[in-house]
Chain A
Amino acid sequence: MELSDSRTIDAPREMVWQALLDKDVLKNAVPGCQEMSGSPEEGFEAVVVQKVGPVKATFKGAVTLEDMNEPESLTISGSGKGGAAGFAKGGAKVRLEDDNGQTVLHYDVEAKVGGKLAQLGSRIIDGFAKKMADQFFTNFQEALEGPAEQEPDAEVADGAETGEKKKGWFRRMVSS
Chain B
Amino acid sequence: MPKDGGIGSPTLRREDIRFLTGNGKYTDDINIHGQAYAYFVRSDVAHGTINSIDASAAEGMPGVAKVFTAKDFEGVGGVPCGWQVTDRFGEAMQEPKHPVLAEGKVRHVGDPIAVVVADTLEQARDAAEALDIDITELEPVLNMKDALKDGATKVHDDLTSNLCYDWGFVEENREAVDEAIKGAHHVTTLELTNNRLVANPMEPRVAVGDYDSSNDEHTLYTTSQNPHVIRLLMGAFVLGIPEHKLRVVAPDVGGGFGAKIYHYAEEAFCTFAAKALKRPVKWTSSRSEAFMSDAHGRDHVTKIELAMDKDGKFLALRTDTHANMGAYLSTFAPSIPTWLHGTLMAGNYTTPLIYVNVKAVFTNTVPVDAYRGAGRPEATFQLERVVDKAAREMGIDPVELRRRNFITEFPYATPVAVEYDTGDYHATMDKLLELSDHAGFDARAAESKKNGKLRGFGIAHYIEACGIAPSNLVGQLGARAGLYESATVRVNATGSISVMTGSHSHGQGHETSFAQVVSEMIGIDASQIDIVHGDTAKSPMGMGTYGSRSLAVGGSAMVRATEKIINKAKKIAAHLLEAAEGDIELKDGAFTVAGTDKSVAWGDVTLAAYVPHNYPLEDIEPGLEETAFYDPANFTYPSGAYGCEVEVDPETGKVTVLGFTAADDFGNIVNPMIVEGQVHGGLAQGIGQAMIENCAYDDQGQLLSGSYMDYAMPRADDLPMFTVDHSSVTPCTHNPLGVKGCGEAGAIGSPPALVNAVIDALQRGGHDVTHIDMPLSSDRVWAAMNS
Contact = CB atoms under 8 A, between A and B. Distances in A.
Contacts of A113: 702
A159 interface: no
Interface in B415-444: none
Tell which of A83, A87, A113, A115 has the most Cβ of chain B within 10 Å.
Answer: A115
Interface in A104-136: 112-116, 118-120, 122-123
B707 A120 contact: yes
Contact of B700 (A83, A84, A114, A119): A114
Given A83-B129, A119-B292, A114 B44 contact: yes
A84 B128 contact: yes
B226 to A, nearest CB: 29
Interface string B675-701: 000000000000000000000001010
A71 interface: no
Given A112-B700, A114-B702, A120 B709 contact: yes
A23 B129 CA distance: 28
A43 interface: no
Contact of A118 (B125, B129, B703, B709): B703
Interface in B215-260: none
Nearest to A53: B709
A142 to B, nearest CB: 33
Contacts of B109: 114-115, 118
A116 to B, nearest CB: 6
B45 interface: yes
B706 interface: yes
Given A113-B702, A114-B45, A84 B129 contact: yes
A115 B709 CA distance: 15
Contact of B702 (A83, A118, A123): A118
Interface string B286-303: 001001100000000000
* Residue with the highest number of chain A CB atoms closer than 10 Å, among B125, B292, B703: B703
Given A84-B125, A84-B128, A84-B129, A118 B704 contact: yes
B271 to A, nearest CB: 25
A87 B710 contact: no
Nearest to B44: A115
B710 A116 contact: no
A2 to B, nearest CB: 12
A119 B129 contact: no
B78 to A, nearest CB: 25
Contacts of B710: 119-120, 122-123
Contacts of A119: 288, 291-292, 702-704, 706-707, 710
Contacts of A112: 700, 702
A70 B702 CA distance: 36
B288 A118 contact: no
A115 B44 CA distance: 4
Interface residues of B, number: 18
Contacts of B288: 116, 119-120
A152 interface: no
A86 interface: yes
A79 to B, nearest CB: 10
A32 B514 CA distance: 61
Nearest to B707: A120
A87 B707 CA distance: 17
A122 B704 CA distance: 6
Contacts of B125: 84
Nearest to A87: B44
A83 B129 CA distance: 6
B698 A118 contact: yes
Contact of A122 (B44, B291, B292, B698): B698
Interface string B761-774: 00000000000000
Interface string B116-160: 000000000100110000000000000000000000000000000
Nearest to B131: A83
Interface in B30-47: 44-45
Contacts of A122: 698, 702, 704, 710
Contact of A120 (B45, B128, B698, B706): B706
Nearest to B704: A122
A37 to B, nearest CB: 19
Contacts of A115: 44-45, 109, 702
Contacts of B707: 119-120
Find the residue from B128, B288, B291 having the highest chain A CB count within 10 A.
B288
A87 B46 CA distance: 12
Interface string B701-723: 01110110110000000000000
Nearest to B132: A81
B44 A86 contact: yes
Contacts of B703: 118-119
Chain B CB within 10 Å, residue with most, of A83, A84, A119, A122: A119
A123 B704 CA distance: 8
Contacts of B698: 118, 122
Interface in A81-106: 83-84, 86-87
Given A115-B45, A120-B706, 18 more contacts: A84-B125, A84-B128, A87-B44, A112-B702, A114-B45, A114-B109, A114-B702, A118-B703, A118-B706, A119-B291, A119-B292, A119-B703, A119-B704, A119-B707, A120-B707, A120-B709, A122-B704, A123-B710
Interface of A: 83-84, 86-87, 112-116, 118-120, 122-123
20 contacts: A84-B125, A86-B44, A87-B45, A113-B702, A114-B44, A114-B700, A114-B702, A115-B45, A116-B44, A116-B288, A116-B706, A118-B704, A119-B288, A119-B292, A119-B703, A119-B704, A120-B288, A120-B706, A120-B707, A120-B710
Name the 4 nearest CB pairs between A and B, nearest first. A119-B706, A115-B44, A118-B702, A122-B704
